[in-house]
Amino acid sequence: MKPLIVKLGGSVITDKGKPFTVRRGVIKRLARELKGIKSPLIIVHGGGSFGHPLASRYKITGGYREKTQLIGVSLTHRAMEKLNSYLVEALQGEGIPAMAVQPSACLIASDGRIESMQLEPVRKMLALGLVPVLYGDVVFDAKKGVSIISGDQLVSYLARKLSVSRVVFGVDVDGVYTACPKKDNRAELLRVITPADVDLVSSLEKGDQGDVTGGMRAKVLELLELARLGIEAEIVNAAKPNVLREALQGKSGLGTVITGGK
């Protein structure tokens, strides 16, 4: 059975308005929703109020330029480890054999994109029935010294290399809108996005000022690359109870589908 990839957005599992604030109740609920999924799972999560503020403060996305950034690299990675530990603990509490996988220890980037990643341990974990839990991380970069690899980019890479059946992104809105629905009440929900909609995607928001990984636009662009390869994805509102579970169980029409079809 091919694995599913679940991406839990940082805006869902943390309070992005309060640095280093985890939504414990939401994480526990999501763990309960994931418990009954029969397919092998790979879980990836974002940084939210843990990774983004530090990466922004120390300007890590621009690469290594001075020694004062090194403490920022260390702090950003440690913050993501902490957030990851909250999620892994909640999953284990529901009897899910979750196991953290540290991206910075197994991949090398080049100019902000994943160049190579050692995936044999992840494959072995899946074969044994374990659930790998990865996260956006500060990593070592062949050209820039260091860079940020988002959870979105990780999802795209893993989906291609591990031949997954489907990808589900859990965010804090009902899908992809023509504008930010939190700021513009005229925003319209897009039910389907295909590679033919690339002009529309270019108009999507890049994310809030503190978001160092590109916001909704970056998510959709990564997923369109998968759509071209025949891997369908859906972006749903994981902040609403049971939506993530239903999406993973195959219920359609819950959010925005990114597909290679017409």
E strand residue ranges, the chain: 4-8, 41-45, 98-100, 107-110, 113-117, 131-135, 137-141, 145-149, 166-171, 176-177, 189-190, 192-193, 233-237, 256-258
Q: For 194, left (φ over 0), alpha (ψ -120 to 50), or beta?
A: beta
pLDDT score of 207: 55
Contacts of 130 (CB under 8 A, 6+ apart): 97, 98, 99
Return the amino acid letter for 256.
T
Return the amino acid letter for 93.
G
pLDDT score of 190: 93
Angle between helices 24-35 and 68-93 (to 10 degrees): 50
- pLDDT tens across the length of the chain (262 residues): 899 999 999 999 999 889 999 999 999 999 999 998 999 999 999 999 999 899 999 999 999 999 999 999 999 999 999 999 999 999 999 999 999 999 999 999 999 999 999 999 999 999 999 999 999 999 999 999 999 999 999 999 999 999 899 999 999 999 999 888 888 888 899 999 998 887 777 777 665 544 555 678 888 999 999 999 999 999 999 999 999 999 999 898 899 999 987 5
User: Domain total for the chain?
Assistant: 1
pLDDT score of 208: 53
| Rounded distance between C-alpha atoms, residue 186 and residue 32, angstroms | 34
pLDDT score of 209: 45
Neighbours of 199 (CB within 10 A): 7
Q: Name the residue range of residue 246's domain.
A: 4-258
- What does pTM read for this prediction? 0.94
CATH of the domain at 40: 3.40.1160.10
| Rounded distance between C-alpha atoms, residue 99 and residue 107, angstroms | 17
